[in-house]
Amino acid sequence: MIRIVFSDIDGTFLTDDKRVTARTEQAVKELLAQEIPFVLVSARMPEAIYPITDKMDVKIPLISYSGALVLTETGEKLYSLTMDATLTEAFLKTVKQDFPQATVNYYAGHHWYVEDANDPRVVFEMKITEAVAEEGSFAECLQRGICPHKILLMMEPADCERAERELQQRFLALNVVRSAPHLLEVMDASVNKASGIEIMLQHFGIGAGEALSFGDNYNDLEMLRYTGTSVAMGNAPQPVKEAAGHVTLSNEEDGLCEYLVRQQLIPAV
């Protein structure tokens, strides 16, 4: 029996042009009407998720920063884990030396710090997420005790792939994983979407075997392997599909809604 549903956002819950379709929105509301919690799980910061839920006019729990920050539907903090300050300083120094082409984003709680808010990559991310970047010094953040929940590196896909491999080998205490060909997410090594889901399940008193998850990319693997029922989107890479128990249609074809209807978890919408 499914008692709670978790979903990744980009490439899963949203279409490629970052919309929630009418059918997907209705599917969420059908679940909530049955008192089945629906939880968005994302590497995004909370301020990049709230515009989505506000447009749907729903209040739901969030797992942000891929599990580093877990919030109830009212914004109450269930869990928060930031990166170690000394480790963060060393990581940023290495990135500056070895990957100067990367755009570095420093996320701490409800704040997103960048060195240049006019960087085209930052401007594009603000347009996509509707969150607002603040210009600031990463060194000053650390001096003030503001440690990041996440560092996001933006660069060309080939550079991103190399950075993932080299930085993960060098910084074993960090979790370094691509969420898109050009995006590299960096958090404490203990953080992943499954760890965030575990916190949320404890909050609701629900077992992992009663949970359903949807995902489409490599940073969803832990989540898909952890929940009792897991579904990869039709647009997911083959390794992600193989890790999931089921495969549905793509995010462009209402894959999340289609699975819920097919499994009779909600009525046809």
Catalytic residues: 8
Query: Measured between alpha carbons, how far is 252 from 236 in angstroms, rounded to an integer?
Result: 12
Return contacts of 130-138, CB within 8 angstroms, 24+ apart: 130/47, 130/48, 130/51, 131/44, 131/45, 131/47, 131/48, 131/51, 132/47, 133/105, 136/106, 138/92, 138/104, 138/106, 138/113
d(CA 25, CA 20): 6
What's the half-sphere exposure (Cβ side, CA atoms, 13 Å) at 268?
A: 0
Most distant CA pair in the chain, distance = 55
**DSSP 8-state assignment for residue 110:** T
- Give 73's contacts (C-beta < 8 A, 6+ positions apart): 59, 60, 61
* Interhelix angle 255-262/22-33, nearest 10 degrees: 40
| CA 197/CA 40 separation, integer angstroms | 10
The region, left, alpha or beta by phi > 0 then psi within -120 to 50, assigned to residue 11 is: left
Helix (DSSP H) and strand (DSSP E) numbers for the chain: 10, 14
Start-to-end CA span in the chain (Å) = 21
Of 125, 119, 117, 109, the residue nearest 10 (C-alpha): 125
